[in-house]
């Protein structure tokens, strides 16, 4: 079943069978964790070191979602990217349509992937597998 596409919006993904849309293309920006010594408040994107130092701070992306059923504004923010290019690629991935389920993994599927990619001692992998199957996999 095709969902109608509202004018000026692009699709973010599918959540519980419903399409989730974003306004525009989002925003990429840089910020850091520096604190103002006088006020004790975080400087964030207003840090003077951000303009001078290429390595100072991290890159973030932000998408605006439609207003929720409670009437409140909704945003998606992801950060910690080392470069602007990495943040722009993440923004492009977030803004692309995804298949049913929004491409989200269940806890069980994620744990199975995690176990398959683990490296280390055989006994550790065996114990992790046991605990995941016994206590964590739904």
pLDDT of residue 22: 46
80 Ramachandran zone, left/alpha/beta (phi>0; psi -120 to 50): left
Mean pLDDT of the chain: 77
Q: Which 8-state DSSP code applies to residue 42?
A: B
Q: For the whole model, what pTM was predicted?
A: 0.51
pLDDT of residue 18: 45
């Amino acid at each position: 079943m095709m969902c109608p596409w509202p004018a000026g919006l692009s699709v973010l993904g599918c959540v519980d069978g419903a399409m989730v849309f974003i306004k525009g293309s989002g925003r990429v920006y840089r910020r850091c964790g520096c604190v103002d010594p006088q006020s004790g408040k975080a400087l964030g994107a207003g840090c003077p070191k951000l303009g001078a130092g290429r390595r100072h701070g991290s890159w973030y992306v932000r998408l605006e979602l439609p207003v929720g059923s409670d009437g409140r504004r909704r945003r998606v923010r992801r950060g910690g990217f080392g470069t602007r290019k990495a943040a722009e690629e993440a923004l492009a991935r977030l803004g692309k349509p995804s298949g049913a389920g929004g491409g989200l993994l269940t806890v069980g599927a994620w744990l199975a992937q995690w176990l398959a990619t683990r490296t280390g001692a055989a006994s550790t992998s065996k114990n992790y597998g046991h605990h995941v199957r016994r206590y964590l996999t739904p």
